[in-house]
Amino acid sequence: MPRVAIVGATGAVGTEMRRQLALRDFPVEGDPLYLASERSAGTSLPWKDGEVEVQAISADAFSGVDIALFSAGGSRSKEWAPVAADAGAVVVDNSSAFRMDPDVPLVVSEVNPDAAAHRPKGIVANPNCTTMVLMVATKPLHDAFGLTEVVATSYQAAGGAGMSGITELLEQTAKLLAAGEETLRTDGAAAEGSVDAEVFSKAIALNVLAHCGSFADERYTDEEWKLLNESRKILSLPALRVSPTCVRVPVVVGHAIAGRLTFAEPVTREAALAALEGAPGLVVEDGTGQDGEPLAYPTPLASAGRDEVLVGRIREDLGDGHSLNVFVVGDNLLKGAALNAVQIAELIAAE
């Protein structure tokens, strides 16, 4: 049974990693090792029926560790992940630090699990939460029809920016609601300017922000570049055409993506449903409420706390017989981060 460490054990994703290890009865030798900053050292966190004391991260801390789950930010991963790997641990890193490194596999457990076994640097990367959610629904369709192009617009929850993003959303919402309906309806600019925007570039409450991440090359944000580059790497499609737009929405948890997927082969709704049926980690929720069908489509709120990715609004494109339109939703803290990291650890433990 592996000796397991969690780096960033006190954070939002680290907390969910701890919960997932316990819920999934991951085979841990003894108690897991909780590592965090000096500030958190000495505090205790729960593990099953007991507690484990948090230790400060150090080179010596990784002695005897077999698997190290990292969720402490990119700078800490760059500093400490190689140290952990050199000490003999397999690192599963949740940051963006190593995702595009050609010697580091980028793994979604249901999509490319075999890639986790090839790790020249002893590190496996966890993809961006938006990319990961989309890949779970896209892979079975790619296998059936041959994906050539993706046009994706994401609707990303405030929780994607961590607990500070959730706090800012809730505090701003309370303040704007207190201002009253008339102010929101007649002087929205003043209402938007009346709240402090620190985590996001503008007020996130009762709003939609066409700015998710930081602007980078070609006037696309880093979140949009992640969607492009990571999709290509995960699917082993270096020439895949991807047109991304990432949007932040006033949702606590749950990322949604509207995707127009184009394939080498013609595609119909019926054939797509057959390809999606039984796909691992995926639930189809698709009904119009007409002709005896129940009304069913995915929502971020309904995805919160669910391990599975939800897909719906599956329909043939109106202008191209090779394209399909879908709406995909997943919990960004679960499948989008902590759960997939633990699933990768399960693949490693089973070797």
Q: Among all residues, which ones are annotated catalytic? A: 129, 255
Sign of CA dihedral 306, 308, 309, 310: negative
Residue 125 in tokens: 């990367």
Beta bridge partner(s), residue 246: 154
- Interaxial angle between packed helices 129-145 and 269-276, expressed in degrees from 0 to 180 and rounded to the nearest 10: 110
Tokens of 27: 């085979």
**Which three-class secondary structure state does DSSP give residue 91?**
strand
Q: Are 341 and 109 in contact (CB under 8 A)?
A: no
For residue 264, count other CB atoms closer than 10 A to its CB. 12
Selection from 103, 64, 97 nearest residue 80 by Cα: 97
Strand bridging mode 44-47 / 33-36: unpaired
Q: CA angle, corner 76, sides to 257 and 35, nearest 5?
A: 100
Pick from 225, 228, 300: nearest CA to 257: 300
Handedness of CA 220, 224, 226, 229 (dihedral sign): negative
- What are the CA-CA distances from residue 157 to residues 49, 93, 112, 181, 336 (Å)? 32, 22, 26, 24, 12
CA 309 to chain centre: 11
